[in-house]
Structure 1
Amino acid sequence: MIMQRSTFTGSPIALHGHDRFADRMRRITDGLLDEGALVTTNCRINGGKAPWFALRVWTGREKDVEKSLDAMGIRSLVPMRKGPDLRRRHRLIEGQMMPVIHGYVLVQLLAEPQYLAALQGIEHAIDVLGGCEKPRRLSDVEVNRFNMLARGGEYDFERTVKISVNAGDRVLIKAGPFGGMTATVVTPNKRGRGDVVVTVVGWLGEVPVTAPLALLERL
């Protein structure tokens, strides 16, 4: 006959302390990111070129995540553009600044899985594009070019371009986190300006992306 114990000795981990699991995980995350930032900085100082990655975040929280990373000494970037103008009572209200591609922050960090995984511990962060083991990388040249075009007004909502797309069209995304990848148009756009919703076939199936029409090229 097998006797079952109804009692046990010992205490659950951290039951009698003030150190909560979430707090411990935060310290681990911060420690890894501090280490990753230091190594990345040394890499740049020594002439190396640490790659950039796209961190998927909550839409509307891009700048918050950028500020959190900057406070940790981690180089990050949210390329911005001018949003749509509004017309109220015969008045034109200039569009507000908004991310070129919502829901993503570009991060420069050493390409080590533990550092990339630690990014997911940042508040409002979700995951790294492509995963931590085989993430999608961007070079300094690609990121700088994308940001310069954004700052120059290339992707402003009201900018007109000579392209129109229909639902189902295949397009090339010319720059940014998905630069060089093909996508399928979901929402048509024949106005020659504004945004388009496309789906990119990626690592986790079809990924919906809202992109400026000026960022696309018909195939």
Structure 2
Amino acid sequence: MMMQHDKFDGTLIAASFGERFEDRMRRIRADLLHAATLRAHDDSPWFAVRVMSGREIAVKNTLDDAGIEAVVPMRKGPEYRRRGRVIPSKMIPAMTSYVLVRFMPSDEAFLGIQGIEHVIGVLGGCDNPRRVPNSEVSRFKASADEGLLDWELETTVFKAGETVRVSSGPFASFSGKIVSCRNDGRGDAVVEIDIFGRTTPTLMPLAILEKV
């Protein structure tokens, strides 16, 4: 003989607290992000967080407001000429789509970082994140501050299909293949880099590339 129940016993999750689902998820994300506020040592490595293009500063500001250490090295962008008038260059991120972040690594901290608006993920993934040495971040930032990564700076001329080595920044020591670039040695190049078995197309300054 089968018995049927015509009602459910119990209470909906969080209903007894009068908390809406959206509020509960917002609280959970805030708790996870708080884990990333645990400061690392001054010589600890950094993590490269991939973000939507054009949202680097917005993500950095969010991290700053949360008390999380973050940096976006900046450089001079290209000049534009319109109707015979020169439009001065603006400061742009030295590495498009990346923000460098430092914190005490934990599952909660990585999940909190990934929950920030405009964040796509962590370079290498949360299970095996790419650790960028503090010395490399300092060197990369210094190069940007000194104008060595400026868009208009003339560097080596590259061609699509060439194999290159990255000399500085979050991808330092990695090799890749140029997908596209200008033919005058200025600006950026799209480079396909193999990161832990996954090909990642990345826009980076020609100034940090070396021919292999």
TM-score in terms of structure 2 length: 0.90
Q: 1:50–1:111: 8 Å Cα contact kept in structure 2?
A: no
Deviates more, 1:171-180 or 1:109-118: 109-118
Q: Counterparts of 1:59-70 in structure 2 under 5 Å? A: 59-70=53-64
1:208 maps onto 2:201 in alignment: yes
Q: 2:75–2:151: 8 Å Cα contact kept in structure 1?
A: yes
Deviates more, 1:26-35 or 1:114-123: 26-35
Report the identity percentage: 42
Any idea what the Cα deviations from partners look like across 1:69-93, whole Å, max 9, x if unmatched?
A: 1111111011111111001222211
Cross-structure match for 1:117 = 111
Cross-structure match for 1:30 = 30
**1:134 Cα deviation after fit:** 1.5
Say if 1:20 and 1:190 are closer, same or farther in 2 by CA, change over 3 A.
same
TM-score in terms of structure 1 length: 0.88
CA RMSD, Structure 1 to Structure 2 (Å): 2.0
Amino acid at match of 1:52: W
Cross-structure match for 1:190 = 183
Task: Say which of 46, 49, 55 aligns to 1:55.
Answer: 49
CA distance in 1, matches of 2:28, 2:139: 34
Q: Counterparts of 1:134-145 in structure 2 under 5 Å? A: 134-145=128-139
Say if 1:188 and 1:71 are closer, same or farther in 2 by CA, change over 3 A.
closer
Q: 2:36–2:113: 8 Å Cα contact kept in structure 1?
A: no
Amino acid at match of 1:217: E
Q: 1:51–1:111: 8 Å Cα contact kept in structure 2?
A: no
CA distance in 2, matches of 1:148, 1:25: 39
Any idea what the Cα deviations from partners look like across 1:62-119, whole Å, max 9, x if unmatched?
A: 1011011111111101111111100122221111111111111100111223212210
Q: 1:51–1:110: 8 Å Cα contact kept in structure 2?
A: no
**1:212 Cα deviation after fit:** 1.1
1:20 maps onto 2:11 in alignment: no
Cross-structure match for 2:140 = 146
CA distance in 1, matches of 2:159, 2:4: 68
Amino acid at match of 1:140: N
Say if 1:27 and 1:186 are closer, same or farther in 2 by CA, change over 3 A.
same
Q: 1:183–1:199: 8 Å Cα contact kept in structure 2?
A: yes
CA distance in 1, matches of 2:121, 2:110: 9
CA distance in 1, matches of 2:87, 2:181: 26
CA distance in 1, matches of 2:171, 2:153: 21
Say if 1:18 and 1:165 are closer, same or farther in 2 by CA, change over 3 A.
farther
Structure 2 counterpart SS, 1:92: strand
Any idea what the Cα deviations from partners look like across 1:48-74, whole Å, max 9, x if unmatched?
A: 633210111111111011011111111
Cross-structure match for 1:160 = 154
**1:148 Cα deviation after fit:** 0.8
Q: 1:82–1:96: 8 Å Cα contact kept in structure 2?
A: yes
Q: Which runs of 5+ in 2 are unaligned?
A: none
CA distance in 1, matches of 2:197, 2:118: 20
Cross-structure match for 2:167 = 174
